[in-house]
Structure 1
Amino acid sequence: MAIRPVYSTSNGKVIKNEYEFQWFAGFSLAQKQRSIVALHNAVKTANKKATPLEISTKGIIDLGVKLSAFNLKLNGYTLENIFQSSKVFSNGGPYRDLLDVSPKESKRDDRLYISGALLGFNYSGIDFPLEPKTVFYDYIYINAVKQTLLPEEIEKIKGYTHFTDIEFNPQRSINTQAKSVAIIRLMLELYNEIPSFDVSDFIRFHSEVVKC
């Protein structure tokens, strides 16, 4: 058995609930998808009207696969490269050259681990704080979705109520594309589009509506 967070919207907020489900061990796509089905069944058992969507390359539904961070780019760069190259530490950074290596290399660069405490992020000359948590990742993810997907594809997100990311383990990370898509779902509820927030407005919006 395993427990994973699932993200949804309620009363104008993005919320998180945890569900226990049968975990199918193994690295094959088939095993990952069996675990996804088990998690989604747990969600639907607890919420009769739920329509969950897996947000990852392991997903079964094409929209969820398209929304995987691995399939998104922002201004020509992968989200992983942007995220790692924007980190500002007490003793260094941001290391812009990490934009031009593979995503795996950018994540493993030694400087990310020897440059002291993480203070925040700097992207396109704009500073992002560490609080509210995940605000920088959510910002770049949502803008990448806006650049990568067609408006009619983004509109389809409204057809789903709960968002999962089978690979996300909150014991090892805090950022998850499932939460980012739940934020998009809320934006579509409130504005019928992804608004063109500037950074300060997005940070304020995030702090007001993201409760997980």
Structure 2
Amino acid sequence: MAERPVFMPQLEGDLLVRTCMVSFVWSPGLAMVQKQKSIRSLHEEAGKQLNINAVLEISTKSEDHLGVELSAFSLKYSPVGKQDDYFLESIFQASKVFENGGPYIDIRRMPPSQAKQDTRLTESGQLVGFRSAGVDWPLIPKTAFYDWLYINIIHTTQEYGERLKEYEGFTDIEFNPKKSVNCQAHSAALYVALNSRGLLNEALSSRDEFINVLQQFSTGDTQKSSSNRELF
């Protein structure tokens, strides 16, 4: 047995994202088929334990094409007027500021797997914050910068927003809250909650507004928009 969180957007009340740990049968092994067995088991148990049926796995292991597209390893940001595009995961890694260096902007051009393994990310001391488009982001609230980055990028594609509304919960089979902080499934749930409540434009207008909106509510963590704005 294993446990993974299911993130459920809340459309009313003082909670934006409800996070519930669900126990399920884990299929060991690194093969895609094993990961997908685990995902199916997780979603079946989510239906039984949480009484929800429409659950989307967001990762490269998802059996739903939308879930793969919305993975940080697949999702891309294309700056307006430029031919370049960057993977969300690479932008996130390139935005990190450490006590002895960073942000290492060149990382944004790397494939996600290479970006995560860049040795500078582990040899520059403690992480102290993030810097994106000249704006510094603090480490608290814990997931604020990652959520802001993820939500900004999916907000540029209207189709994603409409399709995400169809789901009651989101998962990421690779995310273990005991080992990691940021999760794309949480970001997707937060997007649905903000969008459904009419708070999205306000939240995405600036760093301070985004943090203010999060602090007005609870995101369920163990804690005026322009889609043409430069993110990095």
TM-score (normalizing by structure 1) = 0.91
Match of 1:29 in 2: 32
The alignment covers a number of residue pairs equal to 209
CA distance in 1, matches of 2:106, 2:159: 35
Aligned residue among 5, 18, 22 for 2:21? 18
Match of 2:185 in 1: 178
* Range moving further from structure 2, 129-138 or 53-62: 53-62
More helix by share: 1
Following superposition, the deviation at residue 22 of structure 1 comes to 0.2
Match of 1:61 in 2: 64
Distance 1:152 1:110, change over 3 A: closer
* Helix, strand or coil at the partner of 1:114: coil
Aligned residue among 106, 115, 120 for 2:115? 106
Structure 1, residues 93-142: CA drift from partner, whole Å, max 9, x if none?
11112223332232222222222221100011001110001111111111
2:196 is the alignment partner of 1:189: yes
Match of 1:7 in 2: 7
* Helix, strand or coil at the partner of 1:4: strand
2:56 is the alignment partner of 1:48: no
Provide structure 2 residue ranges, at least 5 long, that are not aligned to the other structure: 80-84, 222-232
Following superposition, the deviation at residue 179 of structure 1 comes to 0.2
Match of 1:199 in 2: 207
CA distance in 1, matches of 2:76, 2:68: 14
* Range moving further from structure 2, 101-110 or 164-173: 101-110
TM-score (normalizing by structure 2) = 0.84
User: RMSD of the alignment, in Å?
Assistant: 1.7
CA distance in 2, matches of 1:188, 1:50: 21
CA distance in 2, matches of 1:6, 1:21: 12
Aligned residue among 92, 95, 101 for 1:86? 95
Quote the sequence identity (%): 43
* Helix, strand or coil at the partner of 2:34: helix
Distance 1:90 1:45, change over 3 A: same
